[in-house]
Chains A and B, each alone.
Chain A
Amino acid sequence: DAGITQSPRHKVTETGTPVTLRCHQTENHRYMYWYRQDPGHGLRLIHYSYGVKDTDKGEVSDGYSVSRSKTEDFLLTLESATSSQTSVYFCAISRVGDSPLHFGNGTRLTVT
């Protein structure tokens, strides 16, 4: 593994509750990404970060926010979870913008 830890590994939550997923890296890489994986859709980018406090939206950012106060941590928050946000969430990192991404092991989130 490329030194990426996602927590929690699994989570079940109720509709309307806020949820925060954490990605922690030990590689000191500049770039961090959040993707979601759904059957029939592959992986789709939610948000990404190109430095501390520098973030931008991806393809499916509605209903999600992110924060990066330290190089090693990238948080994904579902402000008010909905059933459509049931998914597997992957964090990824890259050393420079054109480098291949290295992925964490994913968080399976179920919203009931």
Chain B
Amino acid sequence: AQTVTQSQPEMSVQEAETVTLSCTYDTSESNYYLFWYKQPPSRQMILVIRQEAYKQQNATENRFSVNFQKAAKSFSLKISDSQLGDTAMYFCAFMKPSLLQGGSEKLVFGKGTKLTVNP
């Protein structure tokens, strides 16, 4: 079974600075998907970024980027120019592709990192 580990339960950063959240995972699969979700105090789960394992290029979405190290099974999230609205729980998640056309595989989550952005 796949596992996802987020080793930093809590982190804090000053507004406008850069912060990196860590995520490692364990799998024997060669192809899979990785995600970062953000959960602000409103409780809503928001997809931040997605990475396909077969792509060597790291995904980027505005101020959010990932450092995907496939051999090390590491998938860290970098937030640049941190803003107060980035304060949230961040969850790393893993999904392996379905073996069946039209099938579904399940999303496995880490336990989350609580990020606080300070003014």
Contacts and interface: CB of A to CB of B under 8 A. Distances in A.
Interface stretch (A15-23, A67-75, A79-87, A90-98): A90-98
A58 interface: yes
B19 interface: no
17 contacts: A1-B44, A33-B107, A42-B109, A43-B107, A44-B109, A45-B106, A50-B102, A50-B104, A59-B106, A88-B43, A92-B107, A97-B98, A100-B33, A103-B44, A105-B43, A105-B44, A106-B43
A101 interface: yes
B43 to A, nearest CB: 5
Interface in B22-76: 33, 35, 42-45, 47, 50
Residue of B42, B103, B106, B109 contacting most chain A CB atoms (<10 Å): B106
A88 B109 CA distance: 15
A90 B43 CA distance: 10
Interface string B88-117: 000100010110001111111111100000
Contacts of A88: 43
Nearest to A97: B104
Chain B, interface SS category: loop
Contact of B106 (A41, A42, A48, A106): A48
Counting contact residues on chain A (CB < 8 A from B), the size range is 20 to 34
Interface residues of B, number: 24
Contacts, number: 61
Interface of B: 4, 33, 35, 42-45, 47, 50, 91, 95, 97-98, 102-112
Nearest to A49: B104
Contacts of A103: 44-45
Contacts of A31: 104
Given A88-B43, A100-B50, A45 B107 contact: yes
